Structure 1
């Protein structure tokens, strides 16, 4: 096989191709996952210094799909993901993109309220962040790679984060002459730069000034792909294996010590016994007021999930104070339900229980409610559950209400009115976490007639289209309908729960596909930090960390929420790759754990939510100086699940 057609172009700072360079491109034989090594030898022939960059370009084979499937399916992208890749009745969009962790298909669904880069053929509105061509700096990507597919085939280019010319940059474009992916050495961000603020920042270009007779050798990899978008999984797996030895991760603490520190942090800093809450954020600097958020979500960024993790820790270690604190939080969360029969969304000290973080008045978010219900069901399986009948009643109320609202096609809804129970939005895949809650209810004896399992199966079938399309979105309250790593976690929780209950291979395969998609957000390399920044000084290794989402770019640890499921998936498949990636995530976030008061300018047991790996929100190398209840809680949960599985 000759391999994909590649073109190397040298452009001056104003984007004009230059003929003052000699470039040779050598492509090697295909290796694992069909990846071919590429070598570019570039020599400047001009007499005067010039600022220029090198682009390695590959065309996407094929073109738009022109025939519809013979099956019948949804035609509405607003309810079943984007229109791309639907199994029934809808022409596939073309092209389809993936820059792992940074860009997914169209990237921003048209109905999404949050503004961040969006791809649309033939459109150019940089201030609205809509374009048919995008370029990014490599450290925005969990793997510096750019994939592009037509309906019939695809191509991927991969490179290291940096070369001798500076940081690399992946890019994509489509127009009347076709669709292309490219790598730029050094990077550019175009047509605008996204800094997380929803306001377009000026385009950027890292500059390298070539001197007469200067030479550089650049390396990359290229692979041809078929029309199956899931082909990224084999490529990223191969890249992870190729790079892992060059990207060591050195945890500061053991898994048991991580659990001890996190449990102490939850009780010492986030737990408030009056009225019995886990405060969402606590400032690192206790000498400055106003940084503690006097609020608690029912799930997600605070609330029942992390109280349940503390409860499990307390029972395992005999820590009565931890058990008492966890029980008090769950008691408070279950003492008052919304008039519609589900949990409330958020508690505020000044005003009490209220809705979720939604601009829509009265809205409760399905993912947040579902996560609270899932971990409440799990709490029922502890000795504490027997002592607290109100927990069981609250779980049954939530499960009954959500199963009763389920649409005939299986959709569980995204936004629910706190007062009336009216489903205010059916868009996205936020209901996935309810699949796990409905399944696990049976494990606690709450599903005698099998009604919950039947609802979970219907929902599993409905939301499978998002997994099949490789485009899940809608899970976090704060990014509207953006794709996110949290959608991947929810899908893994859901489909592993269905597999545990039924043993059906269909659910196991969806769990595997969901896990592969989730792992696109997980860094396969250690990005370089300036040694003068906090992350540089502490030697933070990014391999194993997840980018939160294309719309909310920072490294976070939420992936530990499904540590147990990833370990179970590995066992069920006989493939330890998934366990290794889960334990790699746990290892990554056993770095930067304050072990003594004052370490990292924090107190023992305070865990930040955000590690800034790229130019968004804050300068690269900084950390957010707040401890988040979920960040502490998910470390505790991941450690407890690893210990329970004997993988610590």
Structure 2
């Protein structure tokens, strides 16, 4: 393949001041660059590979860019590709370049009707943080990075393009290694490449701060001490690290709200209850039970769970601009974990069963002939307000597990039809819509929902293993395969924080999180089903990552004992690289508790 090397960012006496040599080998190219000028210059090396990808290429930068990256009707603004357009106001462009630490793996893929290409570079090089770019006719890497045509830092607007340069001294030379692959037109051809690059950085493994038992002990305490409130029994969504400020900041302090699932609610109450049963802690058992009682005890006029409870308003809908709208994924996840809590409990809970059955009946009625469960509903009428995206996919898991627990054939039929409908989203890599707050953006959470759903569906209908595997492969594109470098003067740098095994939340929300813990047992099961350790290893990596930054005592990284943050800032987005969001979140704490409890039942795996 043709490889072009150029220098930019320097005022040069003459082009002859620079010497380039490229040597291509199997799956790689080595570029030797030498500066022979007489004075030091600030410059940037760019290595570019032409692509013949037709009028509308398909792009992939893992964790960062998926196809066009944003549906034209998506309400959330973040970078989108559109041929022939450049508009800073809407964050649309026909070419993009990003700093490499925004990517879960620093590689850019491009596909057209007749094939594609992939170009990879180390994120951290002797020339600085590298960059990845693509345009209608080429893909490239920059050393160091330059973002184009503008930058996105988490706000719904463009900012001036971020860039760095490297100061070259006379006679200085560097050899750069890049991965280079020619690809078939199959857009899943990224899978073996990402596996190879993941294995390259497998050693040394992340060393968690605490073992599984201590992680469970700390997070159960944190969830109960900082997030549990009585009368009504709820798990508030966020709690400030700084408890002196928590009561003084009003709505900017502790978030006195609770979703029924997703960022709070039943999944984490179930985790607390499960842990309380195992260690015989009556306070935890009582709290977990009471929270699920609160949520299952009050349903909408449509017969579903509500979306969110607020201290000042009571029960309301989901986070949507549509008045009295409910989000499908949140309802389905609440139903799924109600079923799991029912199955795990040694005693009957009639209100839990009644609420689960009511939600299942609602979803059965909402499912259309194609199998689509809908994405948004009206909480009064039950009308399906939207069927766009794949937010309804989690109903497949809820229906499958309802069939396992209750034996109603209607649930199995609904799960099968839903699995058939959403399978195209998985195999085409167009999953989107799982979180309430980013509309139709692709997110890591869509991958988790797909893995949970297709592993559950395979248990009751053993024909879905290829779809479950494809879901896991797509999900793992969000998982960091290397360690971002942090300044030692930042919090993450001072604590030697490792990013390998973390997940980028989404191209819209560029921060690292631990929500992937929600499908820990499914990944282990998938490895057993496929005789492929990749998925179990990924589960181990993520749980090792997540057991960093668990507050071991009051004052640990300025948090309180048992607290876990939602956001680790690893790139320039929302906050400075090396910082954390100084809030404990109920879902981050609860998922680490849940995954630790689940992992303790799998002692054969080296967690």
User: What's the TM-score, normalizing by structure 2?
Assistant: 0.97
Q: How far apart are residue 323 of structure 1 and its match? A: 1.2
SS class of match (1:639): helix
CA contact (8 A) 2:28 2:181 kept: no
Structure 1, residues 120-175: CA drift from partner, whole Å, max 9, x if none? 1111112321001000001000011101111221111111112111100010101x
1:553 matched to 2:510? The reply is: yes
Q: Distance in 2 between matches of 1:204 and 1:560?
A: 33
Partner of 2:288: 326
Q: Distance in 1 between matches of 2:300 and 2:537?
A: 41
SS class of match (1:170): strand
Partner of 2:416: 457
Q: Distance in 2 between matches of 1:15 and 1:460?
A: 59
Q: Distance in 2 between matches of 1:183 and 1:276?
A: 52
1:625 matched to 2:582? The reply is: yes
Structure 1, residues 290-337: CA drift from partner, whole Å, max 9, x if none? 310110000000000111111221222222221111100000000110
Structure 1, residues 189-243: CA drift from partner, whole Å, max 9, x if none? 1111111011211112101132332212211111111011111111000001112
Partner of 1:57: 48
| Runs of 5+ unmatched residues, structure 2 | none
Partner of 1:130: 92
Partner of 1:67: none
Alignment counterpart, residue 500 of structure 1, candidates 436, 451, 459: 459
Partner of 1:389: 350
Alignment counterpart, residue 75 of structure 2, candidates 113, 117, 131: 113
Alignment counterpart, residue 593 of structure 1, candidates 547, 550, 554: 550
Q: How far apart are residue 13 of structure 1 and its match? A: 5.0
SS class of match (1:224): strand
Q: Distance in 2 between matches of 1:262 and 1:242?
A: 32
Q: How far apart are residue 419 of structure 1 and its match? A: 0.7
Partner of 1:226: 184
| Runs of 5+ unmatched residues, structure 1 | 30-35, 65-93
Partner of 1:254: 211
1:373 matched to 2:335? The reply is: yes
Partner of 1:358: 320
CA contact (8 A) 1:248 1:541 kept: no
Instruction: Count residues with an aligned counterpart.
Output: 600
Q: How far apart are residue 48 of structure 1 and its match? A: 3.4
Partner of 1:342: 304
* Residues 613 and 16 (structure 1), Cα distance of their counterparts in 2 relative to 1, 3 Å cut: farther
What is the correspondence of 1:238-253 to structure 2 with a 5 Å cutoff? Answer: 238-245=196-203, 248-253=205-210
CA contact (8 A) 1:117 1:129 kept: yes
* Residues 615 and 14 (structure 1), Cα distance of their counterparts in 2 relative to 1, 3 Å cut: farther
Q: How far apart are residue 17 of structure 1 and its match? A: 11
SS class of match (1:311): helix
1:205 matched to 2:141? The reply is: no
CA contact (8 A) 2:432 2:441 kept: yes
Q: Distance in 2 between matches of 1:261 and 1:16?
A: 62
Q: How far apart are residue 95 of structure 1 and its match? A: 0.4
| Further displaced range: 324-333 or 312-321 | 312-321
Partner of 1:484: 443
Structure 1, residues 398-455: CA drift from partner, whole Å, max 9, x if none? 000111111111111111001111111111000111110010001211x42x111111
Partner of 1:142: 104
Partner of 1:33: none
Q: How far apart are residue 184 of structure 1 and its match? A: 0.7
SS class of match (1:478): coil
